[in-house]
Structure 1
Amino acid sequence: MILSKLPRRVASAFIIGLLILGITACGLGGPSKAERLGKDMHDAAMSVPGVTDARLHVNMNTSGNFITASLTGTGTDQSELSQALGKALPAMLEKTKDLDNGSFSVSIFSPDDSVSVGSDALGYTGTSSLVDFREYFLNQP
């Protein structure tokens, strides 16, 4: 074997290097970009009064970026939920500024799921384009 012909220290360093390379190749190098974005958007939503839960699904692949957010609010009517969503959206969308494209969908639900509100309740009539969402919600006074 080739390793037996090398000095012991060189062979040991080579083996350790291979182990480190194998561990990082197996995905133990930390969360993916999609996981980090999902966590950042979750944390942003959870920092908003009136939001008690945020479930995000972020899928980033060669076809594009797809983000779905389902929030739970403390409110039990559309007005209260709309207010919470209106505060959560800018905070969440701020975290997506590094993305050039993608689709985005969001809804907020009452604690018992009997009432829900989407971005249309806030006057948004655009597409599911992440860029359009950002332009609308991050440029409002």
Structure 2
Amino acid sequence: MSFRRFFKPAVSALTMGLLIMSASACGLGGPSKAERLGKDLEAAALSVTGVESAKLNVNMNTSGNFITVKLVGSSHDADVLADVLGNALPPMLEETEELQSGTFGISIFSPDDAVSASARDLGYPGGSSLNSFREYFLSVP
């Protein structure tokens, strides 16, 4: 058997293996847990009347879970924006039920970013603990 007969199939197999490995490294295996959560949170926010768009950053790593959300509402009135935020928080926080801990930050802005409302405008005492947000906004009175 000549060297060429052996070498050509071996190079082809090696090339195919490298292509498969690089494709899987590029994320063709599907969205990450953070990406899935981000999409679920965005869908929950956009299902609420008065929310025009949602920009999210979900970072899940060995240091913890970090979620920041910027909603854009359809109103320029701070009280209306606060009401919309109050309606958006429960369905969004329900999407985080599988997380044991993390930080959560959220605000809603008018379309021109001139007016905003935050969880504090809804009586939330503060802090960025995801568990505190859930306790406050998902508790049954």
- Give the TM-score band, short-chain normalised: 0.7 to 0.9
Q: How does 1:1-141 map to 2 (within 5 A)?
A: 20=20, 22-141=22-141
| C-alpha RMSD over aligned residues | 2.3
Gaps of 5+ in 1: none
Percent identity of the aligned residues?
60
Taking the aligned partners of 1:87 and 1:135, their CA distance within structure 2 comes to: 16
Moved over 6 A (4+): 12-18
Per-residue deviation at 1:26? 3.5
SS of the equivalent of 2:52 reads strand
AA partner of residue 82 (structure 2): S
The number of equivalent residue pairs is: 136
Residues 1:47 and 1:89: Cα distance change in structure 2 (over 3 Å) = same
* Residues 43-89 of structure 1 deviation map (CA, whole Å, 9 limit, x = unaligned): 00000001001000001111111100000011111110011000000
* Residues 88-127 of structure 1 deviation map (CA, whole Å, 9 limit, x = unaligned): 0011111000100110000000111111000000010031
TM-score, scaled to structure 1: 0.84
SS of the equivalent of 1:117 reads strand
AA partner of residue 85 (structure 1): L
TM-score, scaled to structure 2: 0.84
AA partner of residue 57 (structure 1): N
